[in-house]
Amino acid sequence: MSIFKTTDDFFGSQGLFPLSSGVMPLPCHFRKVHFAVAMFAAESSAVSRTLEGKGLQAALPWWGKNIVTLGLIRYQDSDLGAYDEVIIAIPSVRIKGSAGWKNWLDLLHSTRKLRTGMHIIHIPVTTERSRMAGSECWGYPKTVLPIAHDFMDGKVHSSVTDGQGRLIMNCTGDVGPGFPMPTLQLLTYSFLEGNLLRTPVKIRGALRYHPFQNIRLKVGDSDHPMAADLRRLGLDGLKPVFYLDSDRFQAVFEAGDRV
């Protein structure tokens, strides 16, 4: 197996993972990323139905509802090239775990100790290489769709459209001032060939918390499954309860472990 060397201990060495067309380095390095995440309070019953039969339950309660996250991401330099991405995910734990408020503190743990992971239900991207790598290595439900991100001048404007040019969703508004916060590590839960995978993601970057943001999520008139799920979760027209971002974000996605 070929080994790639880097001069940065955060990234480390890599091997090669075979894809249906070509190969990808693994662990996969994302070296220059603009990362933003909006956390919304979704209808608990709809969240539970989405996770039914997957061995997972919603991890982060919020006053009678459950948190669903919207990731708005621009990869400028990565092993998969440059591309844009939008992620709809449910923070989850395995059913035998706790679903209470203490899971918020769990987010401060290292990746190896984390129990709370992001279960991605939709992840449109703008390149076929990213779709192939995410689907074949980790089982992420990636699709290729048009995405537009604009993170300039203290505002955010991100949108996803379907294959007919109809709006699936947009997330727009004023970000407001940001305050430094600890960098949270990341874990994902996904399914590859019917097996639940636990994938640790090593992160570093200067995260900012924006308590005075005025951002709204709008669901468009598309009949795409992503739009349908956003409506069913009750997210149309909502303002996020938290908004975090970083323009100096880096990540290392490791191989997933079978649970």
Q: Is 54 exposed, middle or buried (0-12, 13-18, 19+ CB in 10 A)?
A: middle
* CA end-to-end distance (rounded Å), the chain: 26
Residue 211: how many other CB atoms lie within 10 Å:
10
In this predicted structure, what is the pLDDT of residue 96? Answer: 78
CA distances to 25, 174, 176, 216 from 154, in Å: 35, 6, 6, 15
In this predicted structure, what is the pLDDT of residue 4? Answer: 41
In which residue are the tokens 């305050």 written?
A: 179
In this predicted structure, what is the pLDDT of residue 3? Answer: 37
pLDDT digits (tens, 9 = 90+) for 77-118: 999 999 999 999 999 999 976 778 888 888 877 777 789 999
Query: Phi and psi for 75 in degrees, rounded to 5?
Result: -90, 115
In this predicted structure, what is the pLDDT of residue 6? Answer: 47
Cα–Cα distance measured from residue 179 to residue 3, given in angstroms and rounded to the nearest whole number: 39
One-character DSSP codes across 52-97: TTTTEEE--EETTEEEEEEEEEEEEEETT-SEEEEEEEEEEEETTS
pTM of the full structure: 0.94
As a whole number, mean pLDDT of residues 235-256 equals 96
Cα–Cα distance measured from residue 80 to residue 186, given in angstroms and rounded to the nearest whole number: 19
pLDDT digits (tens, 9 = 90+) for 14-43: 999 999 999 999 999 999 999 999 999 999
In this predicted structure, what is the pLDDT of residue 74? Answer: 98
The amino acid sitting at 199 is T
Domain ranges of the chain: 33-249
CATH topology of domain 33-249: Acetoacetate decarboxylase-like (2.40.400)
pLDDT digits (tens, 9 = 90+) for 127-146: 999 999 999 999 999 999 99
Non-local CB neighbours of 25 within 8 Å, separated by 6+ positions? 4, 14, 15, 16, 17, 79
In this predicted structure, what is the pLDDT of residue 97? Answer: 66
Residue 219: which pLDDT band, with cuts at 50, 70 and 90?
A: very high
Query: Phi and psi for 219 in degrees, rounded to 5?
Result: -95, 130
Query: Phi and psi for 13 in degrees, rounded to 5?
Result: -90, 165
For residue 86, the cross-strand partners are 72
As a whole number, mean pLDDT of residues 54-67 equals 96
With 60 as the cut, is the pLDDT of residue 211 above it? Answer: yes
As a whole number, mean pLDDT of residues 221-240 equals 98
One-character DSSP codes across 131-169: HHHIIIII---EEE--EEEE--TTEEEEEEE-TTS-EEE
Examine residue 25 and say whether the peptide bond preceding it is cis (omega within 30 degrees of 0): no
As a whole number, mean pLDDT of residues 205-229 equals 97
Residue 75: which pLDDT band, with cuts at 50, 70 and 90?
A: very high
pLDDT digits (tens, 9 = 90+) for 153-208: 899 999 999 989 999 999 999 999 999 998 888 999 999 999 999 999 999 999 99
The amino acid sitting at 188 is T
In which residue are the tokens 């997957």 written?
A: 54
In this predicted structure, what is the pLDDT of residue 2? Answer: 34
